[in-house]
Structure 1
Amino acid sequence: MSITLKPYIDLVRTNADYRRLWLAQIIANFGDWFGILAIYALIQEYSGSELLLGLIIVVKMLSLASFSPIAGYFTDRFNRRKLMIWCNIARGVIVLGFILITSADLLWLAYVLISAQMSFAAIFEPAKTSSIPNVTTSEELVVANILSAASWSIIFTTGMALGGFATAWLGTDLVFMINGFTYMISTFIIYRASIPQAKMSKRELYRTRNPLTGIREGLNYTFNNKHVLRPTLAKGIFTMCLGALVYLLIIVAEDILMMGSIGLGILYAARGVGTGIGPVVGRRIFKSENRWVMGMGIFMICGGLMYSVVSLVESVLIMSLFVMLAHMASGSNWVMSTVLLQRRAPDTLRGRVFSLEWLLFTLAQSLSVTMAALILEFELLSIRQTMGLFSVMLIIAGIAWLNVVAPAEEKYTVSEKKMAVSGHP
């Protein structure tokens, strides 16, 4: 085990700038996941509506989506380190506003605040992801992304689990205060980091002075370069079904397991463990990056199969096991698509490429959750049947990916090999 962990330990020990970026990420992530259950608890306490609970997730995702295009433009044009600092400060102030929600009449404020919080997250996330290749070597890049995903999963696991207990025992106000404090700590750590960044030329800065021009250039680049477009689509297609399945875990914990926040904390903890283990296992199965796009389709099928089992069982332990397995597949898909984009997109366009990826991801998740919430609200299907439906849809998406997207990637890798042999750039 020490041999397996050595590359990750060495990266954190020897690369100070990556270490600071990594620590800032996991501290802010802990606060986010620690606080999210408190938001869910407010919705359930003051409304008890499954539709309103789903709506908070939709508003969260749509806010990310609507701000993503301009966010990518900002992260390519301006200093990413400074952007991350200001975004953290803003989010730290915003989350304290949830304390003001003390009755059903003020519940609308939760949607306004989550929207504002996610607007700044839409800038922070592509800025952070685009910065990883700039603080690591080419050899460190895969290890850095696997470590980031594993750390996210550990923080997700502990944050959700502790957040569930804290919400039940300490109350939501204290949870929101802790969430705000984590953003301040994250800000201080990023402030101490040095994050290099390729700057746009004066000609490029002038040409893209109109944000719409800059956004359009990013879109044109991505859609005209299919080897970049394919990994850009991977997360969105996966979450088109997975988003609904993760949302349904909230309802399963409440109405089937009858365990409330504690049950949800357990299921989400299993999700986090799977997300952390998955990329390590996935890299062992698909050792060549040339096979990663094909692997994404296989992971979609695996995720759908695992959630189909979750839809049938009664035990929280068995549910947790198959949720973990499903998100091992999801975590592998996430890291592989991220690394391919970091390698294939140039630095001055990387922010816009990742913002487009976030746009597709958040729109897909919003649509997915909305569909599931409406199905339950109008009692078209039971909870288990709805989960089964989205599981089957995910399996179909994986089969389609293997038959349409994977063959195009195979042609690209063959072409790359021929150019390498011939010596052409």
Structure 2
Amino acid sequence: MLEKIRPYINLVSYNTDYRRLWLSQVVSNFGDWFGVLAVYALITRYSDSEFLLGLIIVVKMMSLASFSPFAGYITDRFDRRRIMIICDLLRGLLVLGLLMVVSYDTLWLAYVLTAFQMMLSAIFEPAKTSSIPNVTTEQELVDANVLSAASWSIIFTIGMGIGGLATAWIGTDLVFVIDACTYVVSAWFIYRTTIPQERMDEEERKRTRNPLVGIKEGFQYLLQNPQVLRPTLAKGCFTMFLGALTYMLVLVSEEVLLMGSIGIGLLYSARGVGTGIGPVIGRRVFSEEQDWIRAMGFCMIFGGAMYVIVGATGSLLVMLLFVFIAHAASGANWVMSTVLLQRRTPDTFRGRVFSTEWLLFTLAQSLSVVVASWILENDWLSIQQTIMFFALMLSVTGGIWHFTVTQEEKSYQKDRQHRELSATQPAERMP
């Protein structure tokens, strides 16, 4: 067992800059999940409206989506280390601003502050992901992303649980103060990190001083480089259906298992653990990077098949097992697509590429949840039938991916191998 985790131990032991960047992620992610239930509690305290409670989720997703293109431009044009520090400190101030919500009349502040917090997160996340290749070697890059994914899943699993208990025991105000402190600690870790970055040359900086030009060039780069576009689409294609499936786990616990918050906690814990272990398993099953695009299609097919079983059963244990397996496939897909983007994208475009990926992911997830909730609202299908429908569609998407995107990747790999072979062959002697 120790030998299997030895690469990750060595990575955080000997690579100081990655360790500090990773610790900043751990602390800030914990703050994110620790404080989320306190925001929900604040809304329910001053309003009985289910609409207002759901609106905070919509505000989060739309703020992330709408600001993502500008976020990518910012992270490519300016110093990412400085950007992340500023984002963390401002997010801490915004969380403290939630202390001013003291009545129904001030409840609007929660939505405004949350919107700005998510905009800053839209900048922070691509800046952080784009920085990982700059503080790791080629050999460390996969381990670094696997560790980041595993850390996210562990924090997700325990952060909300601790946050829920803390909200009940010590109150929302103190939870917000602790949440703000986590952002300050994260900023301190980043401040102590050295993050090299390839800068735009003078001509490119002058040409892209208009943000809209820089954003346009980012989209053009993706369209002109299909080898980068392919992994950019992977997360969005997956969550186009998995987003709704994850959302419906809440309803499954309420309506099928009749377990309320306990069932939600267990199902989401299975999701979190699967997301963390999946990249480790995926790396062993698909050890060659040239197979990863194909593997993404298989992950979609496999994840969908697992959720079909979730929709067909009424057993908690069976659900936990297959939710775990489905999200292991999702976690593997996440890390493989991230690493390919990091390897294939030049540093000066990396922020815009990751922000575009985040935009697609956010929009796909939002649309998925809206469609599922509309189906259920109109009683077109039962909750279990809706789960099976979205699960089957996820598998179908994986099949389409296999016959389109995977085939394009095979052609790209063949051409690449041919070019590499030609480059290694000695030039023919002139007579």
TM class by shorter chain equals over 0.9
Aligned counterparts, 1:174-193, within 5 A:
174-193=174-193
The one-letter code matched in structure 2 to 1:124 is: F
Query: Structure 1 length as normaliser, TM-score?
Result: 0.94
- For 1:256 and 1:406, the matched residues in 2 are separated by 38
Q: Offset at 1:286?
A: 0.6
Aligned counterparts, 1:126-275, within 5 A:
126-275=126-275
- For 2:337 and 2:322, the matched residues in 1 are separated by 23
User: What is residue 335 of structure 2 aligned with on the other side?
Assistant: 335
- For 1:191 and 1:373, the matched residues in 2 are separated by 43
Unaligned runs of 5+ in 2: 426-431
Whether the 8 Å CA contact 1:51–1:374 is kept in 2: the answer is no
Whether the 8 Å CA contact 1:54–1:247 is kept in 2: the answer is no
In the superposition, relative to structure 1, how do residues 227 and 48 fare at CA in structure 2: closer, same or farther (>3 Å)?
A: farther
Q: Which moved more, 1:109-118 or 1:231-240?
A: 109-118
Q: Offset at 1:96?
A: 2.8
The one-letter code matched in structure 1 to 2:78 is: F
User: What is residue 314 of structure 1 aligned with on the other side?
Assistant: 314
Q: Which moved more, 1:284-293 or 1:42-51?
A: 42-51
In the superposition, relative to structure 1, how do residues 76 and 217 fare at CA in structure 2: closer, same or farther (>3 Å)?
A: same
In the superposition, relative to structure 1, how do residues 102 and 378 fare at CA in structure 2: closer, same or farther (>3 Å)?
A: farther
In the superposition, relative to structure 1, how do residues 163 and 305 fare at CA in structure 2: closer, same or farther (>3 Å)?
A: farther
In the superposition, relative to structure 1, how do residues 39 and 376 fare at CA in structure 2: closer, same or farther (>3 Å)?
A: farther
What per-residue deviation string (whole Å, max 9, x for no partner) do you get for residues 109-145 of structure 1?
Answer: 4332321111000000000000000000111111111
For these two proteins, the number of residue pairs brought into alignment is 425
What per-residue deviation string (whole Å, max 9, x for no partner) do you get for residues 172-224 of structure 1?
Answer: 33333222221111111111111110011111111111111111111101111
- For 1:260 and 1:31, the matched residues in 2 are separated by 25
User: What is residue 428 of structure 2 aligned with on the other side?
Assistant: none
User: Secondary structure of 1:423's match?
Assistant: helix
Unaligned runs of 5+ in 1: none
In the superposition, relative to structure 1, how do residues 28 and 155 fare at CA in structure 2: closer, same or farther (>3 Å)?
A: same
What per-residue deviation string (whole Å, max 9, x for no partner) do you get for residues 78-109 of structure 1?
Answer: 00001001111111122233344455555444
In the superposition, relative to structure 1, how do residues 312 and 169 fare at CA in structure 2: closer, same or farther (>3 Å)?
A: farther
The one-letter code matched in structure 2 to 1:6 is: R
What per-residue deviation string (whole Å, max 9, x for no partner) do you get for residues 336-371 of structure 1?
Answer: 000000000000111111111111111111111122
Q: Which moved more, 1:266-275 or 1:384-393?
A: 384-393
Q: Which moved more, 1:90-99 or 1:250-259?
A: 250-259
User: What is residue 72 of structure 1 aligned with on the other side?
Assistant: 72
- For 1:106 and 1:366, the matched residues in 2 are separated by 27
The one-letter code matched in structure 1 to 2:253 is: A
User: What is residue 394 of structure 1 aligned with on the other side?
Assistant: 394
- For 1:180 and 1:230, the matched residues in 2 are separated by 37
User: What is residue 7 of structure 1 aligned with on the other side?
Assistant: 7
Aligned counterparts, 1:111-130, within 5 A:
111-130=111-130
Q: Which moved more, 1:379-388 or 1:251-260?
A: 251-260
Q: Offset at 1:396?
A: 1.2
Q: Offset at 1:168?
A: 4.0
- For 1:6 and 1:237, the matched residues in 2 are separated by 33
In the superposition, relative to structure 1, how do residues 35 and 183 fare at CA in structure 2: closer, same or farther (>3 Å)?
A: same
- For 1:198 and 1:16, the matched residues in 2 are separated by 20
The one-letter code matched in structure 1 to 2:121 is: A
User: What is residue 361 of structure 1 aligned with on the other side?
Assistant: 361
In the superposition, relative to structure 1, how do residues 423 and 338 fare at CA in structure 2: closer, same or farther (>3 Å)?
A: same
- For 1:196 and 1:417, the matched residues in 2 are separated by 31
Greater gyration radius: 2
- For 2:399 and 2:318, the matched residues in 1 are separated by 26
Q: Offset at 1:325?
A: 1.0
Whether the 8 Å CA contact 1:134–1:195 is kept in 2: the answer is yes
- For 2:287 and 2:17, the matched residues in 1 are separated by 27
Whether the 8 Å CA contact 1:278–1:328 is kept in 2: the answer is yes
